[in-house]
Amino acid sequence: MVSRVIPVDKFDLVIFGGTGDLARRKILPGLHRRYLAGQMPEGAQIVGAARAVLDDQGYRDMVREAITEFGDAEDQDEAKLAAFLEHVQYLPIDAMGEKGWEKLAKMIRPGMIHAYYFSVGPSLFGELAERLQLYGMADENCRIVVEKPFGRDLESARELNKVLAAHFDESQIYRIDHYLGKETVQNLMAVRFANILFEPLWNAQYVDHIQITVAETVGVGGRGAYYDKSGAMRDMVQNHLMQLLCLIAMEPPSRFGPDEVRDEKLKVIRALEPVDPHHIVRGQYNADGKEQSYRDDAGDPKSLTESFIALKCHISNWRWSGTPFYIRTGKKLKARESEIVVVFKDAPHLIFGQSSGQHCNTLTIRLQPNEGMTLGVTIKDPGPGGMRLIDVPLDMTFAEALGEEGSDGPDAYERLIMDVMRGNQTLFMRGDEVEAAWGWTDPIIAGWEERGEVPKPYEVGSSGPEDAMMLMHRDGRRWREIKE
Ligand code: NAD
């Protein structure tokens, strides 16, 4: 078997925003897991840099707590945790002022990889970029990692790209979309491009439609004020769902290289047609006695922001012309589930008769929970009773199929951070891709704003507003049930 842990060279990683929620929840536990997996080299240095006034020990205590709270239970070996924490340091810094910068420049060691993780709000990206340059840390070998949201429309995304491009080359900028770091997403590419089986069928001639669902059970909770300025379209569709759509729809790249893959994704985004307003359903969750409504959570009784969206879109190119893509995402839904379903057309002629129960084939790609893929095939119902047909799943749940190897892989953040260290941008968004995605979303959002549309209410724990069901029913299709 090919080794699962590809070593990375010695690095200095500075996490701006190192005391924040994302650092505590994902980045630091992820680095700890990579350390346990043996991927973090001896001599690697992690510097938390944020506003809080802490010393190294105070920060290590915070990191320890974060790993205990958000890391895996089986990874809590005290001696190994202590050894990991030796790699960790802290520096109080002000992104908007000069405090801490000279000291940081001295901590950065020559002759190794330098990565700067901007785990702070986007309004600080420019400040950080400028000061990294000013204090001599923006050398040509360094990398910066930037978090979502990358802008809130085309204009602000362009502005951010411009600010970053003033100090860094595109090859140094890693725009994270953690969906791209998921095992199944990469497996989707492997299934498509390493097997001859699927690709000949992967087009409008054989695919009836494609569904992409990202359902969450959580509401907007404490993030209500932030979310209310964003909504499901900006927060989820423009980035995560569009990335999934691109990977499903793109042409095979000539090789699995960063620009080859991203060129193909960009072509998909550029081929997306404007969306007919009748093909968009927006929703807001209602209060249900126990839980608050979206408007309560957002702190605005008149909010018109959507916590749910479903839409139908089309890609105008030779491969996909005529095949609709239905996408939906929302909060406080029935279950937490991310899934892509490729629904193939019916066999051209049913030799077993209408009553046999023949169904179309489906390929289901589950991102969470239970990452894996299922191919729905039709077989004969065993036993007597004539030719009755049933659907059975050919199931490839990674944890089952691959045992420990399948369940124990790095999570999305871990994988992506190690890709940064390796200098591999394949799973990161390029500036033109992000702009093209906003270029498609902006007019859709402007449309409903101009029309003053009010999102439809939906029940907490449901599958979204009734109208979202109708969006498919009208076409004689239906959504897959949202379930754990
Ligand atoms: P947070 O508010 O929890 O943390 C912000 C961090 O930035 C803190 O460490 C704070 O000290 C630091 N900071 C703020 N102003 C500073 C300044 N002037 N100088 C130096 N440091 C400063 O935020 P978060 O939830 O960790 O999010 C960070 C970024 O990641 C945001 O862009 C957010 O949109 C994005 N993001 C977060 C999540 C998540 O799950 N939390 C998920 C996806 C993307």
Q: Is the CB of 94 under 6 A from ligand 1?
A: yes
Q: Residue with the nearest Cα to atom 42 of ligand 1?
A: 22
Q: At what angle do helices 242-249 and 183-194 cross, to 10 degrees?
A: 20
Q: Residue with the nearest Cα to atom 10 of ligand 1?
A: 17
Q: Is the CB of 218 under 6 A from ligand 1?
A: no
Alpha helices for 217-356 (secondary structure H): 224-228, 231-232, 242-249, 258-271, 294-298
Rg of the Cα atoms in the chain: 24
How far is it, in rounded angstroms, from Cα 431 to Cα 164? 10
Ligand 1 center to residue 478 CA distance, Å?
A: 39
- The end-to-end CA distance of the chain, in Å, is 32
Question: Residue 97 has which token pair?
Answer: 């002022």
How far is it, in rounded angstroms, from Cα 450 to Cα 300? 20
How far is it, in rounded angstroms, from Cα 440 to Cα 327? 15
φ/ψ of 225, rounded to 5, equals: -65, -40
How far is it, in rounded angstroms, from Cα 326 to Cα 106? 52
Contacts of 255 (CB under 8 A, 6+ apart): none
Question: Residue 439 has which token pair?
Answer: 């270029």
Q: Which of 16, 22, 123 has most ligand 1 atoms within 8 Å of CB, for mutation?
A: 22
Ligand 1 center to residue 293 CA distance, Å?
A: 26
**String of b and e for 427-466 (b: at least 16 CB within 10 Å)?**
bbbbbbbbbbbbbbbbebbeebeeeeeebbbbbbebbbbe
Ligand 1 center to residue 295 CA distance, Å?
A: 24
Q: Which among 191, 178, 242 has a CA at the least distance from the CA of 365?
A: 191
Q: Is the CB of 51 under 6 A from ligand 1?
A: yes
Q: Which atom of ligand 1 is nearest to the CA of 122?
A: 32
Cα dihedral value 197, 355, 364, 2, nearest 10: -40
Q: Which of 119, 130, 132, 175 has most ligand 1 atoms within 8 Å of CB, for mutation?
A: 119
Ligand 1 center to residue 143 CA distance, Å?
A: 19
Ligand 1 center to residue 119 CA distance, Å?
A: 5
In degrees, rounded to 5, the angle at the alpha carbon of residue 71 between the alpha carbons of residues 404 and 122 is 115
User: Which entry of 209, 240, 279, 314 is annotated as an active-site residue?
Assistant: 240
**87 part of the active site:** no
Q: Which atom of ligand 1 is nearest to the CA of 226?
A: 34
How far is it, in rounded angstroms, from Cα 15 to Cα 49? 6
Q: Is the CB of 20 under 6 A from ligand 1?
A: yes
The HSE-up count of residue 345 (CA atoms within 13 Å, CB side) is 14
Using DSSP's 3-state secondary structure scheme, residue 244 falls into: helix
DSSP letters along 385-443, please?
A: SSS-EEEEEEEEEHHHHHTHHHHSS--HHHHHHHHHHHT--TTSB-HHHHHHHHHHHHH
Ligand 1 center to residue 381 CA distance, Å?
A: 55
Ligand 1 center to residue 254 CA distance, Å?
A: 38
Contacts of 324 (CB under 8 A, 6+ apart): 209, 210, 312, 313, 314, 475
Q: Which atom of ligand 1 is nearest to the CA of 51?
A: 11
Q: Is the CB of 27 under 6 A from ligand 1?
A: no
Using DSSP's 3-state secondary structure scheme, residue 472 falls into: helix
What is the pLDDT, as a whole number, of residue 227? 94
Q: Residue with the nearest Cα to atom 25 of ligand 1?
A: 21
Q: Residue with the nearest Cα to atom 43 of ligand 1?
A: 148
Tell me the pLDDT of the chain (484 aa) as tens digits. Answer: 445 677 899 999 999 999 999 999 999 999 999 999 999 999 999 999 999 999 999 999 999 999 999 988 777 889 999 999 999 999 999 999 999 999 999 999 999 999 999 999 999 999 999 999 999 999 888 999 999 999 999 999 999 999 999 999 999 999 999 999 988 888 899 999 999 999 999 999 999 999 999 999 999 987 888 899 999 999 999 999 999 999 999 999 999 999 999 999 999 999 999 999 999 999 999 988 888 999 999 999 999 999 999 999 999 999 999 999 999 999 999 999 999 999 999 988 888 877 777 778 999 999 988 888 999 998 888 888 788 888 888 887 766 666 655 555 678 999 999 999 999 999 999 999 999 999 999 999 999 999 999 999 999 999 999 999 999 999 999 999 998 7
Is residue 73 within 8 Å of residue 36, measured between CB atoms?
no
Is residue 127 within 8 Å of residue 95, measured between CB atoms?
yes
Q: Is the CB of 91 under 6 A from ligand 1?
A: no
Q: Which atom of ligand 1 is nearest to the CA of 95?
A: 19
Q: How many CB atoms lie within 10 A of CB 276?
A: 12
Ligand 1 center to residue 21 CA distance, Å?
A: 7
How far is it, in rounded angstroms, from Cα 17 to Cα 124? 10
Phi-psi region of 244 (alpha: psi -120 to 50; beta: other; left: phi over 0): alpha
What is the pLDDT, as a whole number, of residue 1? 43
Q: Classify strands 173-175 and 308-313 as parallel, antiparallel or unpaired.
A: unpaired
For residue 362, CA distances in Å to 5, 131, 202, 378 come to 33, 52, 12, 10
Burial class (CB in 10 A: 0-12, 13-18, 19+), 161: buried
Q: Residue with the nearest Cα to atom 33 of ligand 1?
A: 121
